[in-house]
């Protein structure tokens, strides 16, 4: 899959951080098809239910299901098999689950895809959450800093055949230098100058993320809380286009 040509609107994934279905419908209308994919996370899944996937798809969007799967391999494999029937384009899982969990998840989705003659969802492995820094990792018992940890987890995911990596924009260039370009990178923790960091600690601009080698950027509140959602998306797309033109 790596190497596919993307349109500009494929590059920006908008995260819907809400637990209200009416907010989802409103946001789908405000976004007005300016991006291809919307990310639906845990707040929305538990607040509204999985039927929200069909709601979003009815507006013509693809869905990244941010399930962040993490459990023993058999449990995650079974969960992924169920997710495979939901018609989503991508799903996230934690690389901390280890190589066996990642491999078995990919294998069951590939088998399911072959039996149904349909494309399987892309798998994106979450490395270290952007809300964590070196101090947090030390408290959790990690032996290295966040860059060491991200690179280690990215390597496990890539070896397991995971389609993409999710990391902060600040680790993208190091991952590309070490592992190449045969996989996708999607980066949350994206902010415009002047935006509040919120609960994110490892952040950067859309231009930096794309110029360092990211394929996609994931943006939530910095877009969805703006009065002019469409205009803000246009601004992000302009910055992405500029960065890609100079990459």
Catalytic residue annotation:
68
Which two structure tokens, joined as six digits, stand for 194? Answer: 């002047």
DSSP class of residue 92 equals: E
Burial class (CB in 10 A: 0-12, 13-18, 19+), 126: buried
Enclosing H/E stretch for 101:
helix 99-116
Place of tokens 């495979």: 84
State how far the Cα of 90 lies from the Cα of 62, in Å rounded to an integer. 9
Which two structure tokens, joined as six digits, stand for 7? Answer: 């349109």
- Whether 146 and 202 have beta carbons less than 8 Å apart is answered as yes
The alpha carbons of the chain give a radius of gyration, in whole angstroms, of: 17
């Amino acid at each position: 899959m790596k190497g596919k040509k993307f349109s500009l609107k494929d590059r920006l994934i908008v995260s819907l951080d809400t637990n209200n279905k009416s907010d989802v419908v409103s946001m789908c209308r405000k976004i007005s098809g300016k991006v291809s994919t919307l990310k639906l996370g845990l707040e929305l899944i538990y607040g509204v239910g999985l039927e929200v996937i069909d709601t979003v798809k009815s507006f013509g969007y693809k869905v990244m299901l941010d399930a962040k799967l993490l459990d023993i391999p058999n449990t995650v494999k079974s969960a992924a098999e169920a997710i495979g029937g939901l018609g989503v384009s991508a799903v996230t899982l934690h690389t901390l689950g280890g190589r066996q969990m990642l491999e078995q998840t990919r294998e069951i989705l590939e088998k399911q895809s072959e039996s149904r003659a349909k494309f399987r969802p892309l798998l994106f492995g979450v490395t270290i959450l952007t809300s964590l820094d070196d101090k947090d990792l030390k408290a959790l018992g990690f032996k290295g800093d966040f860059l060491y940890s991200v690179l280690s987890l990215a390597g496990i995911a890539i070896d397991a055949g995971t389609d993409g990596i999710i990391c902060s924009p600040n680790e993208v260039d190091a991952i590309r230098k070490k592992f190449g370009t045969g996989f996708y990178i999607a980066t949350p923790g994206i902010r415009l100058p002047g935006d509040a960091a919120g609960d994110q600690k490892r952040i950067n601009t859309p231009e930096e993320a794309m110029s360092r080698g990211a394929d996609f950027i994931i943006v939530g509140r910095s877009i969805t809380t703006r009065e002019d959602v469409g205009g803000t998306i246009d601004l992000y797309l302009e910055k992405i286009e500029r960065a890609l033109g100079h990459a």
